[in-house]
Structure 1
Amino acid sequence: MPNWIKKSFVILISILTFGMISPQDLLAGNNQKTDEQQFATDHLEITPLPALNKEQTAEQLISQAKEITATKLGERILPRIESDFESEVIPKIEEIIMDLFDTYPEEEITDLAISPVVGKGDGERIFHIMDTKSNDEILYFHVRKDRPPLEGYSFNFHYHSAEDGFETHHELAEIYWGKDTPARFGSEQVH
């Protein structure tokens, strides 16, 4: 499109809307996701785990949990806390999932899955583990940004259990970020 047409269009829009809408507003609207696109990224398909033995089923669930947690943290947060995350948080998530598998009836283990609603944005939710047969949620895995006075920011990884009605915070790890404000959860690197 010739430049003079673009400029004429900008002037026409400004005159018709009395300057209330600028061309930048129109361009910014094109970059935002539609509700349908947003919904598609907020939900996962519940895929029942194939009939595997207990250890294979646990490994598959743990692998999904790691992937979702890394996605929640995003490309701007994860690289900076990755070593602490790998050494402190992941082993505890694995341990809790294995403990769940040890207490769950053997014939119902394949009913366990990650909930289809995955946490995004600045909310605490990372993922929930549920029983797909009864649709009951069993464990909630969360992370929140804490900022104690004069100490800087840290990430508090914790979980809640159905055993106590999801009331108690069971701490997994506290990872220090620093004095500067961390990026939003799920933020991508800016190149």
Structure 2
Amino acid sequence: MPNWLKKSFVVLISILTFGMISPQDLLAWNNQKSDNHDVIPDHIEVSSLPELSREQSAEQLISQAREITASKLGDRILPRIESDFESEVLPKIEEIIIDLLDTYPEEEIHDIAISPVIGKGDGERIFHIMDTKSNDEILYFHVRKDRPPLEGYSFNFHYHSIEDGFETHHELAEVYWGKDTPAKFGSEQIH
């Protein structure tokens, strides 16, 4: 296939799907379909999933929060601050998530989820927790690189709450990095 035709195909797919589906997604789907030799049905029946208990919901949110935060920090930052992160930051995130779920009735627990928009790049955002029923965000979990004069770099883990209009920084922990400049968030280890 000529190169100009491939490029035109990429642009056409991006325009038609508003960038929601990339050509790589289509290629992966096509490869998976050809590997399975299955016919995709015109519609899929969706059965309701069993609702999780308060403890299971908390475990699921905490597990997702741990994965997303580790991904945000990346392979170059996390190994260096991992012990402080595990001992100071994660227990507080767990406590806040459990406290949040305790404020909801049992039948509304399944409406609490981590927002699909995850923080990338050097911005503060790690993840937000939202009420999927009302589509309102409830908590923002952020991390910021600080550099007080003559002290070196540190990471300020904090959260914002809907209770005060997301104005106040509620500090989780301050984790010291060192005098050298930390890598960018999400940076991979160079082997």
TM-score (norm 2): 0.74
Q: Deviation of residue 189 (structure 1)?
A: 0.4
Counterpart in the other structure of 2:154: 154
Code of the residue aligned with 2:162 in structure 1: it is: A
Note the alpha carbon deviations across 1:40-78, whole angstroms, 9 max, x for none: xxxxxxxx9851111011100100000000000000000
Note the alpha carbon deviations across 1:22-57, whole angstroms, 9 max, x for none: xxxxxxxxxxxxx959x9xxxxxxxx9851111011
Q: Deviation of residue 137 (structure 1)?
A: 0.1
Code of the residue aligned with 1:60 in structure 2: it is: Q
- The CA distance in 2 between the partners of 1:59 and 1:170, in whole Å, is 22
- The CA distance in 2 between the partners of 1:123 and 1:102, in whole Å, is 30
Identical columns (%): 85
Contact 1:49–1:57 (CA<8 Å) still a contact in 2?
A: no
- The CA distance in 1 between the partners of 2:178 and 2:50, in whole Å, is 43
Q: How does 1:1-191 map to 2 (within 5 A)?
A: 50-191=50-191
Describe the SS at the equivalent of 1:67. helix
- The CA distance in 2 between the partners of 1:86 and 1:172, in whole Å, is 12
- The CA distance in 2 between the partners of 1:147 and 1:49, in whole Å, is 47
Q: Deviation of residue 105 (structure 1)?
A: 2.1
Contact 1:140–1:161 (CA<8 Å) still a contact in 2?
A: yes
Q: Deviation of residue 122 (structure 1)?
A: 0.5
The alignment of Structure 1 onto Structure 2 pairs a total of residues equal to: 148
Code of the residue aligned with 1:184 in structure 2: it is: K
Distance 1:167 1:75, change over 3 A: same
Code of the residue aligned with 2:180 in structure 1: it is: D
Describe the SS at the equivalent of 1:127. strand
RMSD between superposed Cα atoms in Å: 1.8
TM-score (norm 1): 0.74
Larger Rg, first or second structure (1 or 2):
1
Note the alpha carbon deviations across 1:109-156, whole angstroms, 9 max, x for none: 100100010001110000000001110000000000000001000000
- The CA distance in 1 between the partners of 2:50 and 2:68, in whole Å, is 20
Contact 1:111–1:131 (CA<8 Å) still a contact in 2?
A: yes
Q: After the TM superposition, which segments of 4 or more aligned residues of structure 1 sit over 4 Å from their partners?
A: none
Runs of 5+ consecutive residues of structure 2 not aligned to the other structure: 1-17, 23-47
